[in-house]
């Protein structure tokens, strides 16, 4: 039985080189990419040799299989991390992605690269190298100084088409989500949003993309076997940042330099114009994600007024106040403070869990904290299994005592 070519639509340029050489007239162009007519194909493989971008491979599927307009993974290709930056500062999620990306790249035996867009990017490119990027693709233009999804997506998609990474990771932030979805649509590839774990399947070498599903009741692991690049957005604060190695040298590759001005103009064309920027005040100024110390309260705090005790301790320690969903649902504190699967994911140096039982959905948002201090009057509360320090007793007595002790010690 004849076998069919597998056509990688994200690599195919629609140049027609294969249609011209096919002796059985089985190939044609549809929607800008080659498609194969299973009824005509003899499986001779001439098309694969003619393709200038190696978009045709396979010949492993039976002719009775559905027509191969799907794509086959290219064997090679780097692991890419979108280097999110705002105002010349690289977002910490980028360093988390570089930490994870390094493991993936090593498992695949390929290079880890970052793709950085902005204006005045030199210091940021250096920082990305110090955090483990072997190579940084840089598009440095005044038009890219601030994030605009259309432009950023066009530049990155263009680079992907030329460089053919096999994996592209973005942070699951407002910027990351916006740009990743546009890139994925532009390239006709899949995108797994909001991943909490990534790994390489040792047999297939596919990216295993794990994310909570059905309201967090299960963890689903998703693969993108037929299209490249494999794209995922990753929740901030779930993965560890790559450690910095000061002075580590990185290779930079300019993305737009050398291209004809007309081509650059076309890539940078945008239908939107940025008029200004106003910071949101909708979350009451809560910056849980960036806090080094979080004092969080749950149902065990018993009433809204008792959250004043947590606020006092947080103030003395220079931290922020968090809460369990039970406390938020009770109306004791606004949603912006909620930590957990349906709230914020945090990764502070110290997390005080006061009157919080430690249900899985709460742990999902804070289990990456460096040190957990649990205060609970039930010695069997699950939170103690995740705590470096456990204080068994009434939070309404222990929290004020801690505040007093820290105030004395810190002179505040």
Q: Which is nearer to ligand FAD, 56 or 327 (CB)?
A: 327
- Shortest distance, position 222 Cβ to ligand FAD, whole Å: 19
Size of the site for ligand FAD (CB under 6 A): 30
- When asked if residue 300 is in the footprint of ligand FAD (CB under 6 A), the reply is yes
| Chain residues 361-400 in contact with ligand FAD, contact rule CB under 6 A | 361-362, 365, 375-378, 381, 394-396
Of the candidates 338, 345, 369, 403, which one interacts with ligand FAD according to CB under 6 A?
Answer: 338
Closest approach of ligand FAD to the CB of residue 283, in Å: 15
| Among positions 173, 252, 357, 369, the unique one binding ligand FAD when judged by CB under 6 A | 357
Instruction: Indicate the Cα dihedral angle 282, 287, 288, 294, nearest 10°.
Output: -130
Minimum Å gap between C-beta 400 and ligand FAD is 12
CA angle 193, 197, 201 (to 5 degrees): 105
Taking the least distance from each CB to ligand FAD, the nearer of 165 and 358 is 358
Tell me how far, at minimum, the Cβ of 33 lies from ligand FAD, in Å.
41
Q: Which residues pair with 208 in a beta bridge?
A: 199
Q: How far is the CB of 147 from ligand FAD (least distance, A)?
A: 28
- Between residues 19 and 341, which has the closer beta carbon with respect to ligand FAD? 341
Pairing of strands 79-83, 167-171: parallel
| CA dist., res. 41 & res. 34, Å (int) | 13
Smallest separation, CB 325 to ligand FAD (Å): 3
Which residue in 154, 168, 12 sits closest to 78, CA to CA? 168
User: d(Cα 199, Cα 206) in Å, to the nearest integer?
Assistant: 8
Q: Which stretch binds ligand FAD (CB under 6 A): 5-13, 83-91, 235-243, 352-360?
A: 352-360
Nearer Cβ to ligand FAD (121/369): 369
Can residue 342 be called a binding residue for ligand FAD (CB under 6 A)? Answer: yes
- Residue of the chain from 42, 70, 92, 359 that contacts ligand FAD (CB under 6 A): 359
- What residues numbered 305-324 form the site for ligand FAD, per CB under 6 A? 324
User: 104 or 333: whose CB is closer to ligand FAD?
Assistant: 333
Examine residue 355 and tell whether it contacts ligand FAD (CB under 6 A).
Answer: yes
Question: Does 340 contact ligand FAD by CB under 6 A?
Answer: yes
Minimum distance from residue 214 beta carbon to ligand FAD (Å):
8
Rg of the chain, C-alpha, whole Å = 26
Degrees to nearest 5, angle at CA 212 with 345 and 338: 30
Q: Would you say the C-alpha torsion 44, 49, 53, 54 has a positive or negative sign? A: positive
Q: What is the closest distance, in whole angstroms, from the C-beta atom of residue 213 to ligand FAD in the complex? A: 11
Q: Which of 247, 243, 267, 270 lies closest to 256, judged by CA?
A: 267
- Closest approach of ligand FAD to the CB of residue 319, in Å: 18
For ligand FAD, the binding residue among 18, 105, 242, 356 (CB under 6 A) is: 356
401 token code pair: 């005592």
The nearest distance, CB 333 to ligand FAD, in angstroms, is: 11
Which position among 299, 311, 386, 407 is part of the footprint of ligand FAD (CB under 6 A)?
A: 299
Short-list 346, 345, 336, 342, CA closest to 283: 336
Q: Which is nearer to ligand FAD, 45 or 390 (CB)?
A: 390
Q: Could you list the residues that contact ligand FAD (CB under 6 A)? A: 215-216, 298-300, 324-327, 338-343, 355-357, 359, 361-362, 365, 375-378, 381, 394-396
């Amino acid at each position: 039985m004849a076998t069919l070519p597998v056509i990688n639509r994200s690599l195919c340029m629609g140049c027609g080189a294969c249609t011209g050489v096919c002796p059985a007239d089985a190939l044609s162009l549809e929607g800008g990419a080659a498609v194969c007519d299973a009824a005509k194909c003899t499986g001779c493989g001439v098309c694969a040799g003619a393709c200038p971008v190696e978009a045709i491979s396979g010949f492993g599927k039976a002719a009775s299989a559905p027509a191969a307009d799907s794509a086959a993974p290219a064997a090679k290709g780097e692991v890419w991390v979108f280097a999110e930056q705002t105002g010349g500062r690289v977002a910490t999620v980028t360093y988390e992605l570089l930490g994870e990306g390094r493991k993936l790249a090593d498992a695949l035996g390929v290079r880890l690269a970052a793709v950085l867009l902005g204006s005045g990017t030199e210091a940021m490119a250096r920082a990305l190298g110090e955090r483990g990027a072997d190579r940084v693709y840089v598009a440095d233009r005044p038009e890219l100084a601030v994030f605009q999804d259309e432009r950023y997506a066009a530049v990155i998609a263009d680079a992907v088409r030329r460089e053919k990474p096999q994996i592209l990771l973005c942070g699951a932030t407002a910027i990351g989500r916006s740009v990743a979805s546009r890139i994925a649509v532009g390239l006709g590839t899949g995108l797994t949003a909001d991943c909490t774990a990534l790994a390489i399947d040792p047999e297939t070498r596919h990216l295993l993309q794990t994310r909570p599903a059905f309201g967090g009741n299960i963890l689903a692991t998703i693969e993108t076997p037929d299209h490249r690049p494999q794209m995922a957005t990753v929740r901030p604060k779930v993965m560890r940042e790559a450690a910095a190695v000061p002075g580590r040298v990185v290779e930079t590759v300019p993305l737009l330099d050398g291209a004809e001005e007309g081509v650059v103009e076309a890539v940078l064309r945008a239908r939107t114009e940025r008029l200004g920027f106003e910071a949101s005040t909708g979350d009451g100024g809560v910056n849980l994600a960036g806090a080094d110390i979080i004092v969080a309260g749950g149902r065990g705090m018993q009433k809204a007024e008792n959250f004043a005790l947590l606020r006092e301790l947080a103030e003395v320690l220079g931290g922020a106040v968090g809460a369990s969903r039970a406390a938020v649902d009770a109306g004791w504190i606004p949603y912006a403070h909620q930590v957990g699967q349906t709230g914020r994911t945090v990764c502070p140096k110290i997390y005080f869990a006061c009157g919080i039982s430690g249900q899985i959905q709460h742990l999902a948002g804070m289990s990456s904290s460096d040190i957990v201090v649990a205060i609970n009057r039930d010695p069997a509360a699950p939170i103690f299994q995740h705590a470096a320090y456990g204080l068994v007793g009434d939070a309404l007595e222990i929290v004020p005592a801690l505040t007093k002790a820290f105030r004395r010690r810190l002179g505040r």
